[in-house]
Amino acid sequence: MRCPFCGNEDTQVKDSRPADDGSSIRRRRFCNGCGDRFTTFERVQLRDLTVLKTDGRRVPFDRDKLARSIRVALRKRPVDDSQVERIVSGLQRRLESDGESEVTTRTIGRMVMERLRDLDQVAYVRFASVYENFGEAKDFQEFLGSLDNR
């Protein structure tokens, strides 16, 4: 593993432990070149996922982008960051184990909304407003009305 500070490839693992409910390994590393310490995470990847965007483009699945969009919906809400990591890990595992190497943004959005609906209603509405592309206040009213009917 290359040191992020000096670029040296001579680094040592000082400590390893499970992270994210056992779905990844957290490693503390030491650089023999500059003496700095840093942390890496190792995750199992079943397959490379490609995301099919609504405009037809195909891009590699980006776990960090998914986590960022969920965090934006959860901003200033009483939800722990570890819960976001569990959501992202669970969604990624589910996508990888479904057997398809290509997934649409629509599918990912629906899966995130399912999780947010159970976790935090405000974050659910926030995410839905972007996902469903709300343009006017009446879009919110209609969506909230459909929540009441469930």
Whole-number pLDDT of residue 107: 92
Token pair of 133, please? 């592309």
Whole-number pLDDT of residue 47: 65
Whole-number pLDDT of residue 117: 87
Length of the chain counted residue by residue: 150
Give the angle 121-146-76 at the CA atoms, nearest 5°. 20
Extents of the domains making up the chain = 11-43, 50-148
pTM of the model: 0.66
Whole-number pLDDT of residue 150: 58
Instruction: Give the relative orientation of helices 63-73 and 105-119 as an angle to the nearest 10 degrees.
Output: 40
Whole-number pLDDT of residue 101: 84
Where do we find the tokens 């995130």?
Answer: 112
Report the chain (150 residues): mean pLDDT per 10 consecutive residues. Answer: 91 88 83 93 73 92 92 91 88 85 90 90 86 77 70
